[in-house]
Amino acid sequence: MLDFPRWKTIGISIILLLGILFAIPSFLPSKTFDKLPGIAQIKVNLGLDLAGGSHLLLEADIDDLQKTQLANMEKTVRAAMRGERGPDDDIAIGELSTAGGKISFLVRDQAQLDAARERLFSETQGAGLTGQRDWTIEVVDTTRIVMTPTAAGQKQAIAGAMDTAREIIDKRVNALGTREPTIIRQGDDRIVVQVPGLQDPQQLKDLIGKTARLEFRMVDPNADPNEAAAGRAPVGSEIVPYAEGASAGAPFEVLRRQVMISGEQLLDAKQGYDGQSGQPVVNIRFDSGGSATFAKVTAQNVGKRFAMVLDGKVLSAPNINEPILGGSAQISGSFTVASANNLAISLRSGALPVKMTVVEERTVTPELGADSIRKGIIAGIVATVAVLTLMVLVYGRFGIYANVALFFNIFLIIAIMAAFNATLTLPGIAGFVLTVGAAVDANVLINERIREELKRGRRVFQAVELGYSEASRAIFDANVTNVIAALLMFWFGSGPIKGFAVVLTIGIATSVFTAVTVTRLFAARWLHKTRPTTINI
């Protein structure tokens, strides 16, 4: 055990040297760090509880998604029954209902039933690997068609919506100009958003929580205001409330159900100011298709009003004084600069396919984080000094070896964390301190064993050799149990606890190397050099 061939000594020295080299960048102030060449820019990440920032867990509103899907399928059914080749091609239907999450309608002419089925079938898609479709089509009572969404189809729809939602949230958060946000999907219906260094997450939450479904619709000029006030709208129209503070008059408008232009046809959206009132507004530009539609519709409807509807609320309903050509428009409402900017970002990044709700939020200000780091480092230094002193007092020379090993251990933990881009959290600092206390355990075991063997009358060489070999079994078993606990923390724990588990796991692995191998190298070199007949341990 005490013989170290040259290659082994060199190998150990290289590992220790690399450890120190990899750890150094993490200690540098960020200004110096940024000047390093790219290859040397490896650093331990700070968790949100140390760097400050927001952790948000968003959950999709699956009911809302299913409602939207149902509404879309209803539109598809109507369009499919209308036929492509003029009125002769129409299939007359009636009693269409969407109750119970199903679409059900009557085919008036029984002879057209098979044709209707065929048209609908071509509108459904395969879902999953079993050859299932996303909707089933059944004929009930010989004249009624019932369409039901399948589980596989819904699963696929949710997965697709979540992927899109993640991309859109990513775009929106990046548009805020924050540094290094993390946006990842979690489970079936959740998205985690982590943004470091944020002082107030409210703007972030407002931004990502907004669905931003923009629609341009015509105001129904034939609606009777009294009927509307009683909650009744003409066929093909509906009552849409105004957004908070957006209306000076009635709290709602009666709008045509048909959407003239939707948010997907936008090319760009920017926050600006109204030329006359100086109020913050959002200037939008349509793509070519949108521009053409907008020009056509406004030309046909001069003198009438259209409404800009965002997430089911009317923002404004201006009069069309002349056809709007050129494909740009101005959205006004009761905006502040910040809310207009938020809307512009949301519109640019597209509508969320599903409503998202914040179900968990953890925010730490950068000041509190910095305070935690400062106190954590002080505590770490004091704890290390206390343990080092104790080790020297109890084990003398062998205590010093253990202490040097402990220093290498600290560097190695930081180096490995930096190399794997791991995150240091506040419980992680506690993990560090605990590791300092526990890392010496291996040396305690070894040194106690050496003492014992000396007491049994063994010579120095043999005692040290047996000390290392006999203690290593217990060291191994004891550390495996700690790794089991740490792995479970890593699997089940959330952010900060994961950070604790990471430090603990790395610390256990490196401490076995430094406390056993490195101290043995020191001890072996000293013994070979001085050949002592007694040792003070």
Partner 1 sequence: MRLLKLVPDDTNIDFLKWRKLASAMSFILVAISIALVAVKGLNLGVDFVGGQSVRVEFPQAMPPIDEIREKVSHIGLGEPTIQQFGSDKAVSIRTALPEGDKTVADRAGKQLVAGIRKAFPTAHTGSVETVSGKVSGELISTGALSLALAMLGISIYIWIRFEWQFGVGALGRLFHEVALTFGFFAVTQLQFDLNSIAALLTIVGYSLNDTIVVYDRVRENLKKYRKMEIVPLLNLSINETLSRTVMTSVSVMLALAMLLIFGPDVIFGFTAAMLFGVFVGTYSSILMSTPVLVWLKVGPHSFVPRTSAASEGAERVQRKDDGAVV
351-370: contacts with partner 1 (CB under 8 A): 357-365, 367-368
| 169: contact with partner 1 by CB under 8 A | no
* One residue of 2, 338, 434, 512 binding partner 1 per CB under 8 A: 434
Work out whether 433 is an interface residue with partner 1 (CB under 8 A): yes
Given the complex with partner 1, which of 259 and 373 has the nearer CB atom?
373
Q: Compose the 476-515 pattern: x for residues touching partner 1 by CB under 8 A, - for all others.
A: -xxxxxx-xxx-xx-xxxx-xx--xx--x-----------
Q: Toward partner 1, which CB reaches closer, 22 or 408?
A: 408
Torsion of CA 478, 483, 484, 489, to 10 degrees: 140
Binding footprint of partner 1, residue count (CB under 8 A):
80
For partner 1, which residue of 6, 31, 455, 531 counts as binding (CB under 8 A)? 455
**Amino acid, single-letter form, for residue 29:** P
Single out the residue of 235, 221, 234, 225 nearest to residue 303, CA to CA.
221
Q: Does 319 bind partner 1 (CB under 8 A)?
A: no
Shortest distance, position 534 Cβ to partner 1, whole Å:
13
Number of other residues whose CB lies within 10 A of the CB of residue 528: 12
State CA 293 to chain mean position distance. Answer: 37
- Told to check if 274 binds partner 1 by CB under 8 A, we report no
Does the footprint of partner 1 cover residue 338 (CB under 8 A)? no
The answer to whether the CB of 537 falls within 8 A of the CB of 395 is: yes
Q: How far is CA 175 from CA 172, 346, 349, 363, in A?
A: 5, 9, 9, 20
Residues 22-81 that bind partner 1 (CB under 8 A): 49, 57, 59
386 binding partner 1? (CB under 8 A): yes
Residue 31 vs 455, nearer CB to partner 1: 455
DSSP character string of 373-406: HHHHHHHHHHHHHHHHHHHHHHHTHHHHHHHHHH
Q: Considering only residues 430, 506, 515, 523, which one is a binding residue for partner 1 as defined by CB under 8 A?
A: 430
Q: Which of residues 171-230 bind partner 1 (CB under 8 A)?
A: 201-202, 205
Buried b (16+ CB within 10 A) or exposed e, 437-474: ebbbbbbbbbbebbbebbeeebebeebbbbbbeebbee
Q: How far is the CB of 200 from partner 1 (least distance, A)?
A: 9
Closest separation in Å from C-beta 439 to partner 1: 9
Q: What counts of helices (H) and strands (E) characterise the chain?
A: 16, 21
SS3 361: strand
Please say which residue, 418 or 450, places its beta carbon nearer to partner 1. 450
